[in-house]
Chain A
Amino acid sequence: MAISFEKAFGVHQYTLRVREQRAEVLSSNIANADTPNYKARDLDFAAALERAQSRQSFAMSRSHEQHIGAGSQFAAELGYRIPNQPDTGDGNTVDVQTERSKFLENALEHEASMRFLNGKIKGLMAAVKGE
């Protein structure tokens, strides 16, 4: 009987990737908290996960290194956050408190996925060793 890693790891192998991507987006928001006209962004988790699972990505080929890449790489899942207060004067929509708590939440969810995966790996190891 073959061991299917795909089935054993389930959804967690994909969620890890999406969590890492979300960490990138949220860290960019925190980094640009003082940048004029920067708009806070976030990842649509459900759509990003679905895409990561089906592994659809297409990009237009670039024949020159200065061409702008017109890929669909996670662009569709990226949205702009609706600010919870009117314009602060410089066109920036980052609320550092919100972004920090989202970043922390994302890190904890990443940790949860890691624990699930660790558990699965331990189970597989036990099966392999036959102990």
Chain B
Amino acid sequence: MSLFKVLDVSASAMSAQSVRLNTTASNMANADSISSSADTTYRSRQPVFAAALDRAQEDQNAVGVKVAGIVESDKPLLREYQPGHPMADADGYIYRPNVNVMEEMANMISASRSYQTNVQVAETAKSMLTKTLTLGQ
């Protein structure tokens, strides 16, 4: 029955959104992780979503979401001159991550709203299924 696929699709969206929430949490947690070299500094991580179209199936009504990968942001790191800092390098610079906390907050709200919407879709599909199963009783 095709309503079971609705549950699969919203489940795939929920797991994709929770990956997004995970990366957001990781970014915000590391927003102040100072490092003494550019290579070891934490960089903002963002998931890339893709429609799960890869299966060669005849019936393509239901298209789930998959996380194609997680990319690290190319934005320049913040280099600060703080010679007194214990993590400062030989020239007296420290490196801050390229995490934009405001962007991450917006991302977090968007992810949790999308998650919520998909939970509601799954609930509606469940009630449609229950009604179908009790047909004629």
Q: Residue B86 at the A interface, CB < 8 A? A: no
Determine whether the beta carbon of B56 is less than 8 Å from that of A31: no
Q: Residue A126 at the B interface, CB < 8 A? A: no
Provided the pairs A30-B10, A118-B136 are in contact, do residues A25 and B117 lie with their beta carbons within 8 angstroms? no
Binding stretch for chain A, among B22-30, B34-42, B89-97, B124-132: B124-132
Q: What chain A residues lie within 8 Å of B132 (beta carbons)? A: 16, 114
**Band of interface residues on A:** 35 or more
Q: What chain A residues lie within 8 Å of B59 (beta carbons)? A: 71, 73-74
Q: Residue B3 at the A interface, CB < 8 A? A: yes
Determine whether the beta carbon of A24 is less than 8 Å from that of B57: no
Q: Residue B108 at the A interface, CB < 8 A? A: no
Mostly helix, strand, loop or mixed at chain A's interface? helix
A38 to B51, CA, bound (A): 7
Q: Residue A56 at the B interface, CB < 8 A? A: no
Determine whether the beta carbon of B13 is less than 8 Å from that of A31: yes
A118 to B137, CA, bound (A): 8
Determine whether the beta carbon of A27 is less than 8 Å from that of B131: no
Q: What chain A residues lie within 8 Å of B6 (beta carbons)? A: 23-24, 27
Determine whether the beta carbon of A23 is less than 8 Å from that of B3: yes
A56 to B118, CA, bound (A): 33
Provided the pairs A25-B61, A38-B51, A103-B124 are in contact, do residues A31 and B9 lie with their beta carbons within 8 angstroms? yes
Determine whether the beta carbon of A100 is less than 8 Å from that of B117: yes
Q: How far is the CB of B50 from chain A (nearest CB, A)?
A: 6
Determine whether the beta carbon of B121 is less than 8 Å from that of A73: no
Provided the pairs A24-B5, A117-B135 are in contact, do residues A96 and B117 lie with their beta carbons within 8 angstroms? yes
Determine whether the beta carbon of B62 is less than 8 Å from that of A20: no
Q: Residue B99 at the A interface, CB < 8 A? A: no
A121 to B128, CA, bound (A): 18
Q: Residue B58 at the A interface, CB < 8 A? A: yes
What is the interface of chain B, defined by CB distance below 8 A to chain A? 1-3, 5-6, 9-10, 12-13, 16-17, 20, 48-51, 56-65, 110, 114, 117-118, 120-121, 124-125, 127-128, 131-132, 135-136
16 CB < 8 A contacts A-B:
A20-B1, A20-B2, A20-B3, A21-B2, A23-B128, A25-B62, A31-B9, A31-B64, A32-B13, A34-B17, A36-B49, A38-B51, A43-B61, A100-B120, A104-B124, A121-B136
Please give me the 3 A-B residue pairs with the lowest Cβ-Cβ distance, nearest first. A31-B13, A69-B58, A71-B58
